[in-house]
Amino acid sequence: MDEKLNNKDVLLVKEKDSDKLKVVSGIEKDGQPKSVEPQKENDSQFLRIDKSGNALDNFMSNFQRQYKDPTHFQFFKVPIEKVSEIAIKLQEAFKKPDEPANKATIDAHKVESPTQGKKQSSNTIDENRIDWSQLERLGVTRDTLEQTKSLNAMLNWQKSPVLIPIVAKFEDTTLRTDARLSFREMPDGKLTLAIHAIRKEPELDRPYFGIRFTDEDKNNLQTTGNLGRIANAEFKQGEKTPVFISVDRLTYELVAVRTDKLRIPDNIKGVNLDGEQKQQLAEGKSVYLEGMTSKNGKEFSSYVQVNADKKGIEFRFDQQPNQSQQNEHRQEQPQYGEVRIPKTLLGVELSEKQRTNLQERQTIYVSGMKDGQGQDFNAYVKVDNENSKLAFFKWNPDKSKAKEITPDNASKTQVEVNSEGKTNEATKKVDEPLKKNQTQPTEKQAEKQETKQAEENKQEPGKQEKSKGRKM
């Protein structure tokens, strides 16, 4: 096959009551798709889709408008060079579509119709259903949810992206804690608030919806946060449901999401996925992608994997590529996300747990760090993947909307003078390091300023002395 065609995809079409697949060659006048057998001799008739173009969107939109019953057909996007091979594989999978491996194969290539996408996007919570008094009894207001960017996520049946401080009163006892929040619909249709409290560690030794974790499962969940495979959960007795499983890294709660609720994307950060990569992701495995582009235009590489808690693809920097990949992709500059975790941070020796937390992209609090002139300051610390460095925060960035600072506003002048070489009018003649929270010279430092200025004036006879008297 022509090499120029290797960057093209084609559509396989399956009628509702048939397991046979054909390649789409166009659209009939009545909206029904034209099709031919998935054989090499018919490749000139295949409707070709540029992987980076919008031909697929155009076809699906036209098909949706013209055909009376779009659900009568299912479409599957596959690379043109593997059309025959994948068609056979899919047809075999259709014989037992509920088996996890077969379902993963089908979902990896399936194309959703526009109507399916609309149904999903409209499935949001009507704010009128929210019992705000229930939230207020826990000390949670609408402003709190909006300021932490949690309200929109919760209206889309997701958990708050950050921990929310809550206050629960039980008779004479008041409990203050942090938790993620979400809305849940009860069997009677009533909307209620679900509280996802922080656990010490994920519960891996007990069955989870009928799933017993193997030693390999436990290791995957503890090291990567993801199960790494498809599991069959028993939400209803006697019914097995294929799911992705991950650990909520803020609360250590186990989270399961049905595989049919997540769509594997065709493109991640500018990198087009081939059929094999999509299938591996659909099976819960991790895939190493290079040449992705971050929001600031910086190129980076990392492992990607489905995360059930995030209900989508996550970037993982806790795992390194194998030796051959390292040799192939080694560069002088560190890759995106390759941040060295030091044993000592600005004079403070980090514990093994603190270093592990940083490595796992969690936030830690460090007290007694030293600025450039040896003065103490405290701050929250977290890995900034995009800029490949450690970032310092006044507030916990996982709990609230925080602005990056070094360290807090009260010590701003101290850090600017001691660490960044800046000056201001009040302290420009002060040779000694400023103390914590200091913005003005002390009385002793002021006297030294005057003496130094007087000596400088003596060395310049033509210069008029100015009064150095201080207001009382």
Report how far residue 245's alpha carbon sits from residue 254's, in angstroms, rounded to the nearest whole number: 7
Q: Kindly report the average pLDDT of the chain as a whole number.
A: 77
Report how far residue 429's alpha carbon sits from residue 455's, in angstroms, rounded to the nearest whole number: 13
Residues pairing with 8 in the sheet: 50
Per-residue pLDDT tens digits for 323-371:
444 444 333 333 334 567 888 888 888 888 888 888 878 889 988 887 6
pTM score, whole prediction: 0.47
Report how far residue 362's alpha carbon sits from residue 396's, in angstroms, rounded to the nearest whole number: 11
Range in 79-88, 191-200, 336-345 with the lowest mean pLDDT: 336-345
Report how far residue 281's alpha carbon sits from residue 352's, in angstroms, rounded to the nearest whole number: 32
Per-residue pLDDT tens digits for 203-213:
999 999 999 99
pLDDT interval class at 462 (50, 70, 90)? low
